[in-house]
Amino acid sequence: MDKDFVLQMANTIKDQLVGMTPLNVIRSWGIENFVATEYKGMAALKFHVQGRLFSGNVIIAYNALDYYEVYLQNYSGTECIGEEVYFDELGRVIDEAIERDKDEAEYQRFLWKECFS
């Protein structure tokens, strides 16, 4: 795969993720760095997170159907958490998997406890 294309797509993915996701949410993931890469023959963005529910790598790959595929990868293996994710859904999909989960009330209790303990 053309390296310039991979770099361009990784930058686009990063810009869309950062542009559509609140900064406090992104900060809660504990991102260490962003890396342009290929994954399963697709241009991708990879970054390491230290979330409440998941620690490891997040891989966002651009597929031929004009969607993103989102993977979580750590010592246990690799799991696809979304195969047809639009750019404006990236932050929500990732945040639910690594930090918040789907139970909003539980997450709010966690935040309350963290802030006032």
Per residue of the chain (117 residues), give pLDDT as tens.
Answer: 899 999 999 999 999 999 999 998 999 899 989 999 999 999 999 999 998 899 999 999 999 899 999 999 999 999 999 999 999 999 999 999 998 777 676 665 666 666 776
94: its two tokens: 């990732």
Sheet holding 42-50, edge to edge: 34-39, 42-50, 55-62, 68-74, 77-85
Residue 69's φ and ψ, nearest 5 degrees, are -110, 135
pLDDT of residue 55: 96
pLDDT of residue 108: 59
Residue 83 is which amino acid?
E
pLDDT of residue 91: 96
Residues 6+ apart with CB under 8 A from 85: 67, 68, 69, 70, 93
67: its two tokens: 């969607």
Whole-model pTM? 0.89
pLDDT of residue 32: 83
pLDDT of residue 89: 97
pLDDT of residue 29: 94
pLDDT of residue 102: 73
Domain extent for 50: 3-116
What is the tally of structural domains in the chain?
1
97, 26 in Cβ contact below 8 A?
no
